[in-house]
Amino acid sequence: MLNENMKAIRKSKGLSQEELAIKLNVVRQTISKWEQGLSVPDSDMLISISEVLETPVSTLLGETIAESKIDDLKVISEKLEIINLQLAQRKETRRRTLHGFCIALCTIIVIVFAVLTVLKSPYLGWDYSVPETAVVGVGFHALEWLFVRIAPVILIGAVIGLIWTRKKK
């Protein structure tokens, strides 16, 4: 459709392929390929063609614009309403996901603290004369030490996240 419209409009303006090519800074063969439908111009070139031929891009592409401006505004407002609903749904989905993540994080931290409290640092009673046990004991001690210092900060952040992501009425 573009190729036929472009050719018809070019001829109605009294331009040859060579003249149109010069105005668009392309070679004549490019115009020929476009008009034969062997290739299509990119969006920037399509705008340039519409300017040179003094024709709207929609006419080049074969669109017929028969709706009145009121109908256009109605269609646009309906599309915007749909987009706004989609954006609101995405925002709500993100809020729910983050809220669920904060709940899970709080739960995991509380469970790990409970497990560490029940175990009462078992590595203290391990036999450190055996190399494997010593390595595991030191590793467990380092993990517990890091967890006890970092987890409260993460827990506070997760609680703040829960408050921040709660559903507002």
> What is the C-alpha R_g of the chain?
34
Is the pTM higher than 0.95? The answer reads no
pLDDT tens sequence across 3-16: 888 888 899 889 99
How far apart CA 1 and CA 62 sit, in angstroms, is 6
Q: What sign does the dihedral 12-13-19-25 (CA atoms) show?
A: negative
Class of domain 2-61: mainly alpha
In degrees and rounded to multiples of 5, residue 64 shows phi and psi of -110, 125
Amino acid sitting at position 129: S
Helix, strand, coil share of the chain (percent; to 5): 80, 0, 20
pLDDT tens sequence across 96-142: 999 999 999 999 999 998 888 887 776 667 777 888 778 888 888 88
